[in-house]
Structure 1
Amino acid sequence: MRNRMGRGVVLITGASSGLGEEMARQFAALGYDLALCARRTDRLDLLAREIRSATGRRVATAGLDVTDSVAVASVFHAFALDFGAIDRVVVNAGIGKGSPIGTGRSDANLATAMTNFVGALAQTEAALEIFRRQGQGHLVLVSSMSALRGMRRSMTTYAATKAGLASLAEGLRSEDIKGLDVSVVHPGYIRSEMNAHVAQKTRFMTDTETGVRAMVEAIEKRRPKAYVPAWPWVPIGIALKVLPLSIVRRLT
C-alpha cells in the first residue's frame, strides 16, 4: 500500500538513464514513491538504492523491454497491485536510432518506430487500464520539439514517432475520460545519454538537471502540452509551426 505521508506513486519507463533517471530523482525529492522500469536492471537497481538513501522514499524496480506488449501489461499491473494504486505514468522509454529512409538501414528506423511509438502505445494501453479501474490517473507522454514538423534524413522516423505521441495524447484528451489527465511534454535540447554524441557546444543545449526540472514542473502542473525549457523553446515552437519547410530544413 502507499505511504500515506507521500504524494502518490509515479511509474517511469526508461528510468535507467537520461531524462528518466533524473525525473526519478526529482519526483522522489518531491515526495513521490516510484515504480521504475528499464531494460538495464543493474543501473536501475543502483538508482533505486541511491534514491532510497537520499530521500527515504519507496522505490520498486522491474526489468522491461517496452517493445514486448505482454511484458508491459504484466509489469504495470504488478506495480499497481504492489503499491495499491499508480497515480502517474510517465511514458519516457525511447531510442534515437535513425537513417535517411531508403538508404539500406531500415532496421534502425523500424527499431525506433517500434520502441518510440508501438512501445509507447503498449504503455498507454496498460496505463489506461489501470486508470480506468481506479477512476483517476495522470498519463504523461514524453515527445520532442522535433514532433512539431517533419524532420530530414536520420531524424525523419524519430520525429514522426514523437508526432504520433502528441496525436495520441490529444486523442485521449478529446475522449474526456473521467478522472484522467493527459500531458504531452516536448523537450528541447536537454543533455542525456541519447544525445551524448552531439557537440557539447550545441546551441540551446541545457544540462540534464535543469532541463528535467522544467519537465517536472510542467508535469506537476498537469499541463496538457509543454515546450521545455520554456526559453527558448516556446518561441521556437511557435515559429516552427509557421515557417516554410525550406527554412525548417536549414534549421535542423
Structure 2
Amino acid sequence: MLQKRKTVLITGASSGLGAGLAHEFAARGYNLALCARRTERLTDLQNRLEESYDVRIEVRSLDVNDHDQVFEVFQDFLRTFGSLERIIVNAGVGNGRRIGTGHFAINRQTAETNFIAALAQCEAAVEIFRKQNSGHLVAMSSMSAKRGLPKHLTTYAASKAGLAFLCEGIRAELLSTPIKVSTIYPGYIRTELNAGAKKLPFEIDQDIGCHALVRAIEREPVSACVPAWPWKVVGVLMQVLPLRWVARLN
C-alpha cells in the first residue's frame, strides 16, 4: 500500500527562511501549502519547485495580521489537501527601534506580527490538529528570545520570547495527545532579508541554515537551537551571564 504523502504548511514562505524551508521540504518529497503577502514571489517559487521536484504545491495570499484570513486560508488548505501534517509558524518581521525614542508604531507592528499574528496561526493550526487528532506545530522563535536584549532588538526579542512561551503552554495542554509542538531557535542565518547587515557572529548562509532547520524539525523536538553548535551553548550562556555582559553582545 502506498503511504500518503505528508503536507507541510509554511507561512511567510515568499522569501528568506520560509522560501528556504520550502526548498528543503520539497526536496524531501513533502507536498507544500505556502502562503505569504507577496503572491507573485510565491507563484515564482511554486514554479521553480514544481520544475525540480515531483510534489504538489498550492499557494495562497495571506497577511498574517489579518487574523480572520489566517483561519480562512488554513481551512482552505485543509480542504485542498485533506489533511495537514505539519504547520510552521514562520511569518514575522525583524524591525525594531530603541524603546523611548519615538518609534512606538514600529515596535508595535513588530510585536503584533511576531506575537499576536503568531497566536492566530497557532490557534488555527491547533484547531485543525485537534480535529485530526494528529499534527506537528512548529514555531520559529529566535536565539534572541533567550534573554532580554537592548537597542533595536528589545521588542523583537520580547516578541520571540512570547512566542516560545506560548508554544510551551500549548505543548503542556497537548501532552496527552498525539499532537507535537516544537519551538525552534535559529541562530544567525544570512538571507536576502538581512543581506545588508554587518557580518554577525557564527552566521551561516541560507542553504546551510535551512538544511539544518529541516533536519531539526523532522525530529519533532520539544525545542532546538539551530545549528546546535555553537547556539546550544550560547543559549545557556545568555541565560546565566550578567545582563551587562549579554548587552555587549549586540
TM-score by length of 1: 0.96
Whether contact under 8 Å (2:26, 2:49) holds in the other structure is yes
- Shift of the 26–189 alpha-carbon distance from structure 1 to 2, 3 Å rule, reads same
How far does residue 6 in structure 1 lie from its aligned partner after superposition?
5.4
Whether contact under 8 Å (2:65, 2:112) holds in the other structure is yes
The aligned counterpart of 2:242 is 244
* CA–CA separation in structure 1 for the residues paired with 2:21 and 2:5: 15
How far does residue 178 in structure 1 lie from its aligned partner after superposition?
1.1
* CA–CA separation in structure 1 for the residues paired with 2:3 and 2:30: 9
Is 1:164 matched up with 2:151?
A: no
1:20 corresponds to which of 14, 18, 21: 18
Whether contact under 8 Å (1:28, 1:57) holds in the other structure is yes
The aligned counterpart of 1:218 is 216
The aligned counterpart of 2:102 is 104
* Correspondences of 1:9-48 after superposition (within 5 Å): 9-48=7-46
**Unmatched 5+ stretches in structure 2:** none
**Any idea what the Cα deviations from partners look like across 1:169-210, whole Å, max 9, x if unmatched?**
1101111251210000000000123322212x3321100010
Whether contact under 8 Å (2:29, 2:54) holds in the other structure is no
How many residues were matched structurally? 248
Is 1:135 matched up with 2:138?
A: no
* CA–CA separation in structure 1 for the residues paired with 2:124 and 2:118: 10
The aligned counterpart of 1:50 is 48
* CA–CA separation in structure 1 for the residues paired with 2:68 and 2:59: 17
Letter of the structure 2 residue corresponding to residue 121 of structure 1 = L
* Correspondences of 1:83-94 after superposition (within 5 Å): 83-94=81-92
The aligned counterpart of 1:191 is 190
* CA–CA separation in structure 2 for the residues paired with 1:193 and 1:180: 33
Is 1:232 matched up with 2:216?
A: no
* CA–CA separation in structure 2 for the residues paired with 1:177 and 1:166: 20
**Unmatched 5+ stretches in structure 1:** none
How far does residue 231 in structure 1 lie from its aligned partner after superposition?
1.4
Structure 1's consecutive aligned runs of 4 or more residues displaced over 2 angstroms after TM superposition are 4-7
* Cα RMSD after superposing both structures: 1.0
- Shift of the 80–70 alpha-carbon distance from structure 1 to 2, 3 Å rule, reads same
* CA–CA separation in structure 2 for the residues paired with 1:63 and 1:15: 10
Whether contact under 8 Å (1:14, 1:20) holds in the other structure is yes
* CA–CA separation in structure 2 for the residues paired with 1:235 and 1:194: 26
**Any idea what the Cα deviations from partners look like across 1:183-241, whole Å, max 9, x if unmatched?**
00000000123322212x33211000101111101100001100001111111111111
Seq. identity, %: 52
